[in-house]
Amino acid sequence: MKLQDQLDAFKAAFEAGQLPFKLAPSDHELLRQGIDELISTEMANNALSVGDRAPEFTLPDTQGNPVSSQQLLAQGPLVVSFYRGGWCPYCNMDLQALQAVLPELHDRANLVAISPQLPVNGQQMQQAHGLTFPLLTDSDNSLAAQFGLRFALADELVELYINSLGIDLTKLNDESGWTLPMPARFVIAPGGDIIYAEVNPDYTQRADPWALVSLLKG
């Protein structure tokens, strides 16, 4: 099953109240409204895209070791995937789909996934889902901002996250505020230019990782 088919099936079951964890219809409406409002800002259209120069970065992995984009690019193309955090089921499915294509990316590109969550939360994700690529911590979503991905959650969504979802980003992330990255996927050429870009203001929509394989094989 393709990644988006899995995401669509999960979303349909969640909104229909078919999962153990349930939300009120008004909460589902508020989540949909948050997505629609982010789309309406057209932020995704202003994010970095093909032909732009990618920002250089050095971020810690789940063990606290620094990972440098310059060092990785010296080995070949680099795939950079931004995700919201381990608390997001859509992100978990996305990362597992990346893991599934990792053998196809081998010898063609390095892969890193980036979120604002604390390294310990990344460790838990790697162990729970058998992820073998680096998960990096982007404090305050600073790198996400350079890519044009960082946005602030509206007050009503902050309240929903805390009271209905039991999610407090100030405890899960390496920051004190309530910002997130739009999910995005980039391929950076060894010279530093972006040769593939996919940005999704709707976090329930993700690019299929097999598109990366096709690009890198080509």
Residues annotated as catalytic are 91
Region class of 42: left (phi > 0), else alpha (psi between -120 and 50), else beta:
left
**Percentage helix, strand, coil for the chain under 3-state DSSP, each rounded to 5:** 45, 20, 40
- Give the span between the Cα atoms of 36 and 91, in whole angstroms: 19
- Give the span between the Cα atoms of 49 and 28, in whole angstroms: 31
Q: In this structure, how many other beta carbons lie within 10 angstroms of the beta carbon of residue 24?
A: 11
- Give the span between the Cα atoms of 86 and 214, in whole angstroms: 27
Beta bridge partners of 113: 81, 135
Buried-exposed string 67-105: b where 16+ CB fall within 10 A, e elsewhere: bebeebbeeebbbbbbbbbbbbebbbbbbbbbbebeebb
Residue type, 60: P
